[in-house]
Chains A and B, each alone.
Chain A
Amino acid sequence: MLLEVDNLHATAAGTPILKGLSLRVGPGEVHAIMGPNGSGKSTLAHVLAGREGFEVTAGTVVFRGKDLLAMSPEERAREGLFLGFQYPVEIPGVNNIYLLRAALNARRRHRGETEIDALQFMRLAREKARLMQMGEQFMSRGVNEGFSGGEKKRNEIFQMTILEPALAVLDETDSGLDIDALKVVANGVNSLRDGQRSFVMVTHYQRLLSHIEPDFVHVLAGGRIVRTGDRSLALDLEARGYDWLVAASG
């Protein structure tokens, strides 16, 4: 298993959000996590990435055989976890490309690899920027500085294609995207699918799943996964909403 979440309980500001969530992600799998607002989807993404402000009160998370919850956010990233933010922050003055090269080299050092030099890196960045249909001007700007909502999301996926994580947790990457941008984002994600790399996609909408085919669809409600199925479950949800599931799970 790449990721094993077992009986995870977490609180935010003292309020229980996750109440016994279990999830197993194998290599090469794509999991979609759907569910009504407030069910804990984004909390799960943030707890996995190690954001401050959430307290894990019970349960375990094992990532590539290691205790994920014992690691700092940067250690998790260097171990191969990537969080695609729902609301990526703007950081004026920190050059987008500079950040990415520092991030990639932090990961390479962690794995005992040599650092990538500036020239090699620019070649890699240009190639990935083309894939994400991002102009060079986006690369040289401050991180997300002045980007539109859709550009920010594309930048998240651009970063992911360069960092090549083992597991990408994408938090509502599809929200706020028009159909063309959605295709570009899906294209970026699909370019990384190689049978080993895995994805956990938090989403509200079925439409993302018609571009990125999931192996599993989970419904998160009341802080737990109440139903797991295949793609057809997402279509059911699209047609029927969540109420029938939430009611059935009590």
Chain B
Amino acid sequence: MVAVFDAGTLLPAVSRLTPPDGVTLHRLDGAQGRLAWEASLEGDSRENDNALASLNAAMLSDGLAIEVAAGVTATGPLFIIHGSGPERMAHNRLVLRLRPGSSCTLIEQQAGTGASAANSVTDIICERDSRLTYIRLQDGADAAFHVAMQRISLQAGAEASLFGIDLGGQLTRNDLRVSLDGPGASTDIHGLFFADGRRHVDNQTRVDHRAVRTRCSEHFRGIADGAGRGIFNGKILVHRGADKADAVLRNENLLLSRQAEIDTKPELEIYADDVKCAHGATTGRLDPASIFYLRSRGIGADEARRMLIAAFAREIIGQLPVDSLVDHVVGLLGSRLPDLADVGTAP
């Protein structure tokens, strides 16, 4: 299934809206859009403490609510493309509900062209023992603005593997909120951002452990070049009573120029007694010994650097569950590193 939106409006003519078996689609358009959205959430509370999310709700004119029926494994990924032309503002809205024991892969691609702006809100509810793979890929034009929020709740035994990859855009801001609501809920979060030129990429993540035996492993990598700026604020909050919680938060960054900037703040807030938590952040340059090693094998200095940058990114990209997507994203990153060809692709 492929759903293509332009400036927040679904384009059925270029979409393939026939969902896989066991998956239903509901369009959130027209005057009833907001009511349909609330209905799709089934009263699952969504705090409106964020001005842009509120603006998104107020401006809501189209969107999709997707539901995967209990026990169903959706065949093929659900692919949503949010495009937007120059001088346009898009308010994208998506709701995904996985019924108990179901599983699916959702890919959201954000690709604004020219000086466009997108304000996206994605709500995902993973009911008991469901399995979600969610991939957000932002590869907008250099002048595009992207603001996005994902609110994901996991009930007992649900598992979510989440990816956030930001390669383009002038100004990018992501808020990822994951709530581990039921016992044994578990998430793996993988993030990658690349800020070169004068681009600004800001990732804010928050994971709430609200039940016993919940697990979170979060790993973000950032690359800043030119006068680019990358921000990572990752917060993991273990609430009272969420005993046996297991949380790991890692952020590693690569600075490629003197003007580039990375600001990182990994945070743990723990109110339970019996937990296992770790966090750490590092920021560094390319390793001169590695560059020399590659050059000593006949690899040119620039190519050696590009290989090492791509290798750094591959630690995240390589976790993508679809091989063709790994190659695609490596290619996208490569096209943003000048003169980079098929880096790191095995023969």
A74 CB–B CB distance under 8 Å: yes
Pick the residue among B288, B301, B315, B346 that contacts A97 (CB under 8 A).
B346
Q: Which residues of chain A are near B296, meaning CB under 8 Å?
A: 49-51, 73-74, 76-77, 82-83, 85
Complex Cα–Cα for A101 and B307 (A): 13
Distance in Å from the Cβ of B316 to the closest Cβ of chain A? 10
The docked-state distance in angstroms from the alpha carbon of A93 to that of B221 is 14
Q: Which residue of B288, B298, B301, B344 contacts A94 across the interface (Cβ within 8 Å)?
A: B344
- A51-B292, A98-B344, A98-B347 are known contacts. Are A91 and B297 too (CB-CB below 8 A)? no
- Enumerate A81-132 residues with CB–CB distance to B below 8 Å: 82-83, 85, 88-89, 91-95, 97-104, 106-107, 110, 118, 121-122
Nearest opposing residue in chain B for A125, CB measure? B347
Interface of A is mostly: helix
> Does B290 contact A89, Cβ atoms closer than 8 Å?
yes
The docked-state distance in angstroms from the alpha carbon of A101 to that of B346 is: 9
**Could you tell me the distance between the alpha carbons of A51 and B289 in the complex, rounded to whole angstroms?**
9
Which B residues are CB-close (under 8 A) to A74? 295-296, 298-301, 304
| Number of residues of chain B lying within 8 A (CB) of chain A | 29
B271 surroundings in chain A (CB, below 8 A): none
Q: Is B281 on the interface with A (CB-CB < 8 A)?
A: no
**Which residue of chain A is the closest to B307 with respect to CB atoms?**
A94
The answer for the CA separation of A83 and B296 in the assembled complex, in Å, is 7
Chain B minimum-CB-distance residue to A83: B296
Return the chain A residue nearest B303 by Cβ: A102
Determine if A98 and B310 form an interchain contact, defined as CB atoms under 8 angstroms apart: no
* Contact indicator A93/B299 (Cβ below 8 Å): no
Rounded to whole angstroms, the CA-CA distance of A101 and B303 in the bound complex is 14
**Judging by beta carbons under 8 Å apart, are B347 and A107 in contact?**
no
Question: Is A98 a contact of B299 with CB atoms below 8 Å?
Answer: no
Q: Which of B293, B297, B314, B345 has the most CB of A within 10 A?
A: B297
Q: A74-B301, A94-B307, A99-B294 are in contact. Are A89 and B287 (CB under 8 A)?
A: yes
Contact indicator B295/A93 (Cβ below 8 Å) = no
CB distance from A166 to the nearest CB of B (A): 13
Assembly CA distance A110 to B299 (angstroms): 11
Residues in B neighbouring A85, C-beta threshold 8 A:
293, 296
Interchain CB contact under 8 A, A92 and B297 = no
Quick check: B292 and A52 within 8 Å, CB to CB? yes
| A residues in contact with B299, CB < 8 Å | 74, 99, 102-103, 106
Is B303 a contact partner of A73 (Cβ separation < 8 A)? no
Task: List chain A residues, Cβ under 8 A from B314.
Answer: 93
Q: Are B311 and A142 in contact (CB under 8 A)?
A: yes
Q: How far, in Å, is A53 (CB) from chain B's closest CB? A: 9
Instruction: Pick the contact of A103: B292, B297, B315 (CB < 8 A).
Output: B297
Closest approach, in angstroms, between the C-beta of A64 and any C-beta of chain B? 15
C-alpha gap A122/B300 in the complex (Å): 23
* Chain B residue, CB-CB nearest to A119: B347
The CA-CA distance from A76 to B297 in the complex, in Å, is: 9
Q: How far apart sit A104 and B298, CA to CA, in the bound complex (Å)?
A: 8
A98–B303 touching, CB < 8 Å: no
- Asked if B298 contacts A106 (CB within 8 A), the reply is yes
Known contacts A92-B315, A93-B315, A121-B347; decide if A163 and B298 are in contact (CB<8 Å). Answer: yes
Q: Does A72 lie at the interface of the complex (its beta carbon under 8 Å from any beta carbon of B)?
A: yes
Contact of B347 among A50, A73, A97 (CB under 8 A): A97
Indicate if B312 sits at the interface (CB-CB under 8 A).
yes
Q: Which of B287, B297, B308, B344 contacts A95 (CB 8 A)?
A: B344
A138 CB → nearest B CB, Å:
13
Which of A52, A91, A163 has the most C-beta atoms of chain B within 10 angstroms of its own C-beta?
A91
B346:A88 contact, CB within 8 angstroms = no
Interface residues of B in 49-94 (CB under 8 A from A): none
Binary A-proximity of B225-268 (CB < 8 A = 1, otherwise 0): 00000000000000000000000000000000000000000000
Q: A76-B296, A89-B289, A94-B311 are in contact. List 6 more A-B contacts (CB 8 A).
A: A73-B296, A74-B304, A78-B298, A102-B299, A103-B299, A140-B346
Residues of A at under 8 Å CB distance from B?
Answer: 49-52, 72-74, 76-78, 82-83, 85, 88-89, 91-95, 97-104, 106-107, 110, 118, 121-122, 140, 142-143, 159, 163
Q: List 13 A-B contacts (CB under 8 A).
A: A50-B295, A50-B296, A52-B292, A74-B296, A83-B296, A85-B293, A89-B290, A91-B308, A92-B311, A98-B346, A104-B298, A122-B347, A163-B297
8 nearest A-B residue pairs (beta carbon): A93-B311, A118-B347, A77-B298, A103-B297, A73-B295, A106-B298, A93-B314, A94-B311
List residues of chain B with CB under 8 Å of any chain A CB. 287-290, 292-301, 303-304, 307-308, 310-315, 318, 344-347
